């Protein structure tokens, strides 16, 4: 009957079949999953209404089953990554006088990519002159699932069409409940994690700010330990913990209450900087005040793609515990699968006291940040850390859809790990050909080309060939690949071919650059 229904003209273009089923309804589960499997359709299950939370124990938990009718109409999930496309940049810079006239000169990315973009899907961005670009920047890891992923987009369209609450301060909403229960079921429980979710303001720096304030409140201490080349955001607390002099210079006031200690590898492979930190904290005359928190990125996204070892990370977590400091992992750029696991610290087997998340959490580029806190440290009084935009309901909807689509099992993470290996291999070939070195981990890797000037030449050459790619590092000396994690193999290979050509062009004549 289902098959007959789906052939009716009115639903011929339908791309998703959604049903809700109670957990114990074996007959319905059998019917729908058999239907999907027989036709090779993939399906996603998302907890919708919980027995205890939503029905006060009076009705069984309802689970939503969404079957993607992928081989009927065009398969929209893959369409964005279609093999038929190729980068085709437009040749001319359009009229951008309005930006010079009216937009603050603080803008940055727009300067190296002077086009006007008007459409994006999957791994592709299009400009208003018909140019097509392969996106190896992905909103600085905000678009791990690509631009306008059809499942996420549909979830948002459905929610808006049904007049779902768009803004509700921090009121309870269906969208928030679904996000929290999906996050609990698909992310926290399988990893044995117990966190409360604090929704700060909408952007990453808000999550860091909340984490630092909370650690200071919990411990009654002021000092925070952050690391060389760390990047945590632009508001004053997060900026104090950021290393880059150029960014710090914009503060206009002293940036205080943070000790910047050496990150893993800062003095070369021979020196264990975790031991140095331990020594400084043990020494009452080192001048380092007892820390409220130790704040760390596992891969320094903006600070040069330095990736710490899991051994070092474990040591830092132990040092924090030993000295009564909260251990905070800033997973804003490296999280949401970028390094091959949902949280970037998972391979270390540690449990941070606080985790900050943002960027790809909403899955669609909608502003959405999260500060995850162990229950015993959830100590802000009601309203003590407030704000108008705490919890973006549209982002709850797309984040829930993203978790259901990509994190219901390990397949996506496995694929990301495979692509990360491929990326490392291709970058290694490029680096070896020019005597350069690699940086990073997983799908967050790049090449150290030794100077910002050379890196800029490479990214400009890539942009001329239709690849959007950016730099990272103290002097912008790292060319960093942040492709969407959903990229298809063919587009990925094509983009990396273009990168190889761009590196060769920029280093023309076989100039070898002393990178380290
Ligand atoms: C690790 C890390 N923390 C914090 C931030 C700040 O996030 P946002 O720019 O959303 O404020 C960033 C941004 O790049 C980041 O990479």
* Beta-strand runs (E) in 413-458: 437-441, 444-448
pLDDT at 1: 73
Contact 45, 408 (CB under 8 A): yes
Do 273 and 202 share a domain, yes or no? yes
Mean pLDDT on 235-241 = 98
Do 381 and 460 share a domain, yes or no? no
Contact 410, 445 (CB under 8 A): no
Q: Which atom of ligand 1 is nearest to the CA of 330?
A: 1
* Cα–Cα distance measured from residue 202 to residue 139, given in angstroms and rounded to the nearest whole number: 15
Q: Is residue 494 lining ligand 1, measured as CB closer than 6 Å?
A: no
79 pLDDT band, cuts 50/70/90, is very low
Q: Where is 468: in which H helix or E strand? A: strand 467-468
Domain count of the chain?
Answer: 3
Last residue in a domain, options 347, 376, 406: 406
Two structure tokens written together for 423: 């990326």
Do 261 and 384 share a domain, yes or no? yes
Question: The tokens 């205890």 sit on which residue?
Answer: 52
Q: Which atom of ligand 1 is nearest to the CA of 334?
A: 1
Quick one: CA dihedral 313, 455, 249, 205, positive or negative? negative
Identify whether 46 is part of a domain. yes
* Cα–Cα distance measured from residue 262 to residue 45, given in angstroms and rounded to the nearest whole number: 44
Identify whether 234 is part of a domain. yes
What's the distance, Cα to Cα, between the start and end of the chain in Å?
66
Identify whether 388 is part of a domain. yes
DSSP letter at 361? G
pLDDT at 336: 98
CATH code of 21's domain:
3.40.630.30
Least confident interval from 62-71, 166-175, 226-235, 412-421: 62-71
Do 171 and 44 share a domain, yes or no? no
Do 393 and 418 share a domain, yes or no? no
Q: Is residue 200 lining ligand 1, measured as CB closer than 6 Å?
A: no
Which of 106, 204, 299, 395 to mutate to test ligand 1, by most ligand atoms within 8 A of the CB atom?
204
Torsion angle in degrees (nearest 10) through CA of 476, 480, 482, 487 = 150
Last residue in a domain, options 367, 388, 406: 406
Least confident interval from 26-40, 185-199, 372-386, 411-425: 26-40
Q: Which residue has the higher pLDDT, 368 or 15?
A: 368
Residue 382: count other Cβ atoms within 10 Å of its Cβ: 7
Two structure tokens written together for 383: 């309203």
Do 441 and 501 share a domain, yes or no? yes
* Parent domain of 53: 2-69
Identify whether 397 is part of a domain. yes
Do 194 and 254 share a domain, yes or no? yes
pLDDT at residue 77 tops 50: no
Identify whether 86 is part of a domain. no
* Cα–Cα distance measured from residue 380 to residue 211, given in angstroms and rounded to the nearest whole number: 11
pLDDT at 81: 42
* Cα–Cα distance measured from residue 212 to residue 209, given in angstroms and rounded to the nearest whole number: 5
Least confident interval from 68-72, 135-139, 232-236: 68-72
Identify whether 418 is part of a domain. yes
**Three-class secondary structure assignment of 270-311:** CCCHHHHHHHHHHCCCCCCCCEEEEEECCECCCCCCCECCHH
Q: Is residue 426 lining ligand 1, measured as CB closer than 6 Å?
A: no
Do 335 and 455 share a domain, yes or no? no
pLDDT at 16: 67
Half-sphere exposure (Cβ direction) of 67: Cα atoms closer than 13 Å: 23
Q: What is the pLDDT of residues 455-493, one digit of tens each?
A: 999 999 999 999 999 999 999 999 999 999 999 999 999
Which of 231, 331, 335, 338 to mutate to test ligand 1, by most ligand atoms within 8 A of the CB atom?
231
DSSP letter at 147? B
* Cα–Cα distance measured from residue 83 to residue 287, given in angstroms and rounded to the nearest whole number: 58
Residue 107: count other Cβ atoms within 10 Å of its Cβ: 9
pLDDT at 9: 60
CA distances from 476 to 296, 448, 452, 471, 473 (A): 20, 9, 5, 5, 5
Contact 141, 301 (CB under 8 A): yes
DSSP letter at 124? E
CATH code of 429's domain:
3.90.1150.10
* Cα–Cα distance measured from residue 227 to residue 213, given in angstroms and rounded to the nearest whole number: 18
What is the CA 335 to chain-centroid distance, rounded?
5
Q: Is residue 205 lining ligand 1, measured as CB closer than 6 Å?
A: yes
Identify whether 516 is part of a domain. no
198 phi/psi in degrees, rounded to 5: -105, 125
Do 165 and 101 share a domain, yes or no? no
Question: If you measure from the C-alpha of residue 185 to the centroid of ligand 1, how many angstroms do you get, rounded to a whole number?
Answer: 26
Question: If you measure from the C-alpha of residue 501 to the centroid of ligand 1, how many angstroms do you get, rounded to a whole number?
Answer: 30
Residues belonging to the chain = 516
Q: Is residue 330 lining ligand 1, measured as CB closer than 6 Å?
A: yes
Mean pLDDT on 423-451 = 98
* Cα–Cα distance measured from residue 293 to residue 286, given in angstroms and rounded to the nearest whole number: 17
pLDDT at residue 76 tops 90: no
pLDDT at 197: 98
Do 233 and 218 share a domain, yes or no? yes
pLDDT at 20: 83
Q: What is the pLDDT of residues 113-169, one digit of tens each?
A: 999 999 999 999 999 999 999 999 999 999 999 999 999 999 999 999 999 999 999
CA distances from 371 to 91, 311, 356 (A): 43, 25, 5
Q: Which atom of ligand 1 is nearest to the CA of 367?
A: 10
Identify whether 168 is part of a domain. yes
pLDDT at residue 71 tops 80: no
- Which residues, 6 or more positions from 249, have their beta carbon under 8 angstroms from its beta carbon? none
Do 370 and 391 share a domain, yes or no? yes
pLDDT at 3: 72
Do 249 and 229 share a domain, yes or no? yes
The side-by-side arrangement of strands in the sheet containing 132-135 is 117-121, 124-127, 132-135, 467-468
* Cα–Cα distance measured from residue 294 to residue 300, given in angstroms and rounded to the nearest whole number: 15
Question: If you measure from the C-alpha of residue 21 to the centroid of ligand 1, how many angstroms do you get, rounded to a whole number?
Answer: 39
Q: Report percent pLDDT > 70 for the chain.
A: 91
pLDDT at 412: 97
516 pLDDT band, cuts 50/70/90, is very low
Least confident interval from 84-88, 266-270, 395-399: 84-88
Contact 320, 314 (CB under 8 A): no
pLDDT at 276: 98
CATH code of 348's domain:
3.40.640.10
Last residue in a domain, options 382, 406, 430: 406
Q: What is the pLDDT of residues 352-411, one digit of tens each?
A: 999 999 999 999 999 999 999 999 999 999 999 999 999 999 999 999 999 999 999 999
Does residue 363 sit in helix, strand or coil? Answer: coil
Q: Is residue 203 lining ligand 1, measured as CB closer than 6 Å?
A: yes
Contact 220, 289 (CB under 8 A): no
Mean pLDDT on 428-450 = 98
* Beta-strand runs (E) in 177-252: 196-198, 223-227
């Amino acid at each position: 009957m289902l098959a007959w229904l789906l052939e009716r003209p009115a639903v011929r273009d339908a791309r998703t079949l959604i049903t809700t089923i109670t957990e114990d309804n074996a007959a319905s589960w059998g019917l729908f999953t058999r239907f999907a499997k027989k036709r090779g359709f993939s399906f996603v299950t998302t907890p919708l209404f919980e027995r205890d939370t939503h029905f006060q124990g009076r009705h069984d938990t309802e689970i939503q089953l969404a079957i993607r009718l992928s081989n009927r109409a065009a398969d929209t999930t893959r369409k964005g990554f279609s093999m038929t496309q190729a980068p085709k940049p437009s040749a001319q810079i359009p009229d951008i006088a309005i930006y010079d006239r009216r937009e603050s000169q603080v803008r940055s990315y727009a300067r190296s990519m002077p086009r006007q973009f008007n459409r994006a899907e999957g791994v592709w961005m299009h400009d208003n002159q018909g140019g097509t670009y392969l996106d190896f920047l992905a909103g600085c890891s905000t678009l791990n699932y690509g631009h306008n992923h059809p499942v996420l987009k549909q979830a948002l369209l459905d929610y808006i069409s049904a007049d779902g609450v768009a803004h509700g301060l921090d009121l309870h909403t269906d969208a928030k409940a679904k996000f929290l229960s999906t996050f609990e079921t698909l992310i926290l429980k399988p990893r044995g994690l117990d966190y409360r979710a604090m929704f700060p303001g909408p952007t990453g720096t808000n999550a860091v700010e909340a984490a630092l304030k909370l650690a200071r409140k919990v411990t009654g201490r002021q000092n925070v330990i952050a690391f060389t080349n760390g990047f945590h955001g632009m508001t004053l607390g997060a900026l104090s913990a950021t290393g880059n002099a150029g960014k710090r210079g914009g503060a206009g006031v002293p940036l205080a209450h943070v000790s910047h200690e050496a990150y893993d590898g800062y003095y070369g492979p021979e020196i264990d900087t975790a031991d140095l930190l331990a020594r400084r904290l043990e020494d009452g005359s080192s001048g380092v005040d007892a820390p409220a928190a130790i704040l760390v990125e596992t891969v320094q996204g903006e600070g040069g793609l330095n990736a710490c070892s899991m051994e070092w990370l474990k040591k830092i977590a132990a040092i924090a515990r030993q000295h009564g400091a909260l251990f905070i992992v800033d997973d804003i750029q490296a999280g949401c699968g970028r390094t091959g696991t949902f949280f970037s610290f998972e391979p270390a087997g540690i449990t941070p006291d606080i985790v900050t998340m943002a960027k790809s959490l909403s899955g669609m580029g909608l502003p959405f940040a999260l500060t995850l806190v162990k229950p015993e440290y959830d100590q802000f009084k009601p309203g003590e850390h407030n704000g108008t935009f705490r919890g973006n309901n549209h982002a709850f909807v797309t984040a829930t859809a993203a978790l259901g689509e990509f994190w219901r099992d390990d397949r996506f993470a496995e694929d990301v790990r495979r692509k990360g290996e491929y990326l490392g291999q291709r970058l290694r070939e490029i680096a070896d050909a020019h005597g350069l070195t690699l940086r990073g981990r997983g799908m967050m890797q790049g090449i150290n080309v030794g100077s910002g000037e050379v890196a800029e030449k490479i990214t400009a050459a890539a942009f001329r060939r239709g690849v959007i790619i950016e730099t990272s590092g103290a002097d912008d000396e790292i060319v960093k690949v942040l492709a969407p994690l959903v990229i298809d193999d063919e587009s990925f290979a094509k983009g990396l071919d273009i990168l190889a050509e761009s590196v060769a062009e920029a280093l023309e004549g076989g100039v070898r650059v002393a990178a380290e």
